[in-house]
Amino acid sequence: MTTDQAEQGAFVRAPLGVQERITADGSSPWPVEAGRYRLVVARACPWANRTVIVRRLLGLEDAFSLGIAGPLHDERSWRFHNDPGDKDPVLGIEYLGEAYRAADPDYSAGVTVPAMVEIASGKVVSNDYANMTLDFSTQWTAFHRDGAPDLYPEALRAEIDEINEGVFHDVNNGVYKCGFATSQEAYDKAYTALFRRLDLLADRLATRRYLMGDTITEADVRLWVTLARFDAVYHGHFKCNRSKLSEMPVLWAYARDLFQTPGFGDTIDFAQIKQHYYGVHHQVNPSGVVPLGPDLRNWLDPHDREQLGGRPFGDGTPPGPVREGERVPPLS
């Protein structure tokens, strides 16, 4: 995540510095190859959370390993401060920035997660979060598990892309536009767009279980990672406070439905999410104090979305248990 500021106090997300892609068709320098890469994420980051969910739903755990940076970082980048010796056990680095500089000693753009790193060279291959999960669905098919769902069905791609575009600008990035705005005009514009989009999404989801109908797709993954963080951080920390998610009945039930679906809630660590946002964004929260609330056990309340029918994984099956070393603390 990056925090460039534009004119008139509006937040503009900085461009990515390593936009290569890993492909199966020879269209990039980086081929799909099991065991060659390590996906580096942070539990706190919604963009990284998308990749963790899709990797798990598709069963790609054996195709590429998972490195998890801690929730705190400084000007030197994301740090593996939750790992033994403060180093990633596979890459042997303390800061993710080391892998970026291995790829380019003069690298000066943002050090972001998610990042795919070539294990042998220690070089970042890609931080292209916009396409990474799509490539998991379309380029890594040889390594999908039996029963993997089709998260990006060809017949629906144009509609999924259209929904994702609006969700990105107004919701995924919209909460940041609210939180990092430095003028009232920029904040008001972002706030209005955010809740207008959420109202439209609620209308869409009032009569269908998922954004595309009966089954989970890439569109649901992208929306859900922002909804999952809404009450814990965006409502207060980023001033997205027209209403809490838990006060928006359709979206709240939809979000709980997915939270209770294997592959979603079992990727969420609310403690790390709060530690990151409140502990790192000093321009928003100078004290660094992390709030104790809200009580998040209501994520386990019944959602009753089954009444809309649908099959979460379509013709596929749920993913298996979370791998050892990748589990998150359960809600208590």
Question: Which three-class secondary structure state does DSSP give residue 267?
Answer: helix
Condensed to tens digits (0 to 9), the pLDDT of residues 72-131 reads: 988 778 999 999 999 999 999 999 999 999 999 988 888 999 999 999 999 999 999 999
Q: Enumerate the β-bridge partners of residue 39.
A: 66, 116
Q: Three-state secondary structure along 279-302?
A: HHCCCCCCCCCCCCCCCCHHHHCC
Cα separation, 38 vs 238, in Å, equals 32
Contact 160, 218 (CB under 8 A): yes
**Whole-number pLDDT of residue 75:** 78
Contact 9, 17 (CB under 8 A): no
Condensed to tens digits (0 to 9), the pLDDT of residues 37-70 reads: 999 999 999 999 999 999 999 999 999 999 999 9
Task: Give the mean model confidence (pLDDT) for residues 238-261.
Answer: 98
Q: Determine which of 9-13, 24-28, 188-192, 209-213 has the lowest per-residue pLDDT on average.
A: 9-13
Contact 226, 164 (CB under 8 A): no
Q: Six-digit token pair at 118?
A: 């070539």
What counts of helices (H) and strands (E) characterise the chain?
10, 10
To 5 degrees, how large is the angle CA 222–CA 228–CA 232? 140
pTM value is 0.95
Residues 6+ apart with CB under 8 A from 206: 250
Q: Note the residue count of the chain.
A: 332
37, 45, 210, 278: the catalytic one is 45
Q: pLDDT confidence of 13, banded at 50, 70, 90?
A: low
Q: Would you list the domain boundaries of the chain?
A: 4-143, 154-308
Residue 95 DSSP label: B
Contact 32, 140 (CB under 8 A): yes
78 marked as binding residue: yes
Condensed to tens digits (0 to 9), the pLDDT of residues 161-175 reads: 999 999 999 999 999
> Bigger pLDDT: 4 or 136?
136
| CATH code of the region 154-308 | 1.20.1050.10
Cα separation, 169 vs 266, in Å, equals 26
Catalytic residue list contains 178: no
Could you confirm whether domain 4-143 is CATH 3.90.180.10? no
Catalytic residue list contains 277: no
Radius of gyration of the chain (CA): 19
**Whole-number pLDDT of residue 2:** 43
Pairing of strands 115-118, 123-126: antiparallel
**Whole-number pLDDT of residue 16:** 57
Task: Please indicate whether the domains covering 4-143 and 154-308 agree at the CATH topology level.
Answer: no
Q: For the chain, what percent of residues have pLDDT higher than 90?
A: 89
Contact 282, 288 (CB under 8 A): yes
37, 95, 176, 210: the catalytic one is 176
Q: Give the number of other Cβ atoms within 10 Å of residue 189's Cβ.
A: 17
Q: pLDDT confidence of 17, banded at 50, 70, 90?
A: low
**Whole-number pLDDT of residue 26:** 86
**Whole-number pLDDT of residue 110:** 86
Q: Give the number of other Cβ atoms within 10 Å of residue 287's Cβ.
A: 8
Find tokens 């998991």 and name the residue: 136
Alpha helix (H) ranges present in the chain?
46-58, 97-103, 129-138, 157-167, 174-179, 184-205, 218-228, 235-237, 249-259, 270-280
**Whole-number pLDDT of residue 5:** 47
Residue 15 has pLDDT above 80, yes or no: no
**Whole-number pLDDT of residue 4:** 44
Residues 6+ apart with CB under 8 A from 187: 9, 177, 178, 181, 239
